[in-house]
Structure 1
Amino acid sequence: MTTILIIEDDMAIHSLLKESLELNEFQTLSAYSGTEGKLLFKQSEIDLILLDLMLPGMNGEEFLQEIRLNSAVPVIVISAKNDQESKLELLMNGADDYITKPFDVKELLARISIQLRHATKTSVNSMEEMQYQNIYINLDTREVKINEETIHLTGREYAILLLFLENPQKVFSRANIYESVWNEPFFDSDKTINMHISNLRNKLNIADTNYIKTVWGIGFKFD
């Protein structure tokens, strides 16, 4: 059974999330602070995290930063912050999706389904490992190494890297990347894709090689 960790200190919202998820046959674990969430994450097999930001003790941003050091588990941030800068900053720091309060439960369930479907698709279709020049990926553990040095990618960055490695030299438009990785029609601005590509480039730069080439007027390719 799929296990979702809810980290939310508002009792009413937490209860709503827990009830809605369990009605849809998800197993849930409950945490009411970032510190408690971190402990449960270490002790349990978690498939997805729903994360509030304004938490007692360790806040949501700190929690996200901690788990992204060694895990690519999907994280959906649920927050009252609705400005574009906050959303982009959270996505840059490792969130896989972002939904603002108040939220529609059906929309949230759809977003959860997309994240889980993508994670399952990656697992089912994968070999045990993949290597391209000096980039090595263990597809079971999702560990990525360059020249034997581990690099830590978010779920989106990992999915984009796999897309490129499975199709070297192929030119992808921003819409191609979005629809392949997000598994939904492209309706966002170019900023989202550009941000993820920029972050991935920076993390791959430890090899002193510019793997991701910009094809002006079209998109990107991996070379």
Structure 2
Amino acid sequence: MKEQILIVEDDADINNLLAKILRTEHFEPIQAFSGTEAKLLFTQNTPDLILLDLMLPGLSGEELLSELRGNFSSDVPVIILSAKIALTDKVSLLKMGADDYITKPFEPEEVIARIQAALRRTSTSKKLSCLNLELYPDSRKVTVQGIELSLTAHEYDLLYLFMKNPEKVYSREMLYDLVWHGGYYGENNTVNVHVSNLRKKLKEADPENEYIRTVYGIGFKLVLH
């Protein structure tokens, strides 16, 4: 699955330019044009990294960063993109929890290099765990009770979504859009089949625990016991 980058920038030209740059480098951009919209998108699906402007309608960049590090207790890497060049601004934001700071105007190569460095330091080096289940994003490796599990690409992508956002309920429509990147029309049984196969493999490896639960009428979620 492509790593998702949330772009929070109210200037449509800059936002679209960043999205184009990210797609070229095989990232999946998610575009928000206000702090309020970014907060909503963040609650729906946690991205792998955030590119954050400061001067935003709704919540400012500083307010959004404060909420991410405070109310959400999120450690998702945040790179500030701002025209503010004063050292005091940079130091203040880094103390608030920003991971990096890029001054506008920027070069595309620098943005990509900073993103890759931040992901190496954080997201891709972290192990996701739930009971006896462990997932390693950098190598796409999954183990249950220390034994590696053989998963298809789509099964891994589904499990990664569930483990990245534990207890979040994903509808079939949302899973189809995020994993298969296509429109969901209600009659497609693809999601159900893949979730069922994933559950079967987890159950065979760890009969004592349930990892993925059906939320009837809505979808599926990872269960934290």
TM-score range, shorter chain: 0.5 to 0.7
**C-alpha distance after superposition, 1:105-140 (max 9, x if no partner):** 10110000001111245315x9889xxxxxxxxxx9
Q: Secondary structure at the match of 1:40?
A: helix
Could you tell me how far apart the structure 1 residues matched to 2:94 and 2:43 are?
A: 23
Gaps of 5+ in 1: 130-139, 141-223
**Structure 2 residue aligned with 1:82:** 85
Q: Write out per-residue CA displacement over residues 157-214 of structure 1, whole angstroms, 9 at most, x where no aligned residue.
A: xxxxxxxxxxxxxxxxxxxxxxxxxxxxxxxxxxxxxxxxxxxxxxxxxxxxxxxxxx
The aligned residue for residue 4 of structure 2 is 3
Provide the residue aligned with 1:51 in structure 2.
Answer: 52
Question: Superposed, which structure 2 residues align to 1:1-223 within 5 Å?
Answer: 1-69=2-70, 70-120=73-123, 122-124=125-127
Larger radius of gyration: 2
Instruction: Assess, with a 3 A threshold, how the Cα gap between structure 1 residues 80 and 25 changes in structure 2: closer, same or farther.
Output: same
Shift of 1:76: 0.1
Q: TM-score, normalised by structure 2?
A: 0.55
C-alpha distance in 1 between matches for 2:46 and 2:66? 19
* Percentage identity across paired residues of the two chains: 50
How far apart are the structure 1 equivalents of 2:101 and 2:85? 9
Aligned CA distance change for structure 1 residues 11 and 121 (closer, same or farther; 3 Å): closer
- RMSD of Structure 2 on Structure 1 (CA): 2.1
The one-letter code of the counterpart of 1:37 is A
**Alpha-carbon distance in 2 for matches of 1:30, 1:104:** 19
- In structure 2, what is the Cα distance between the partners aligned to 1:108 and 1:114? 10
Aligned partner of 1:105: which letter? Answer: P
Does structure 1 conserve the Cα–Cα contact (< 8 Å) formed by 2:8 and 2:51?
Answer: yes
Structure 1 runs, 4 residues or longer, greater than 3 Å off = 126-129
Aligned residues: 130
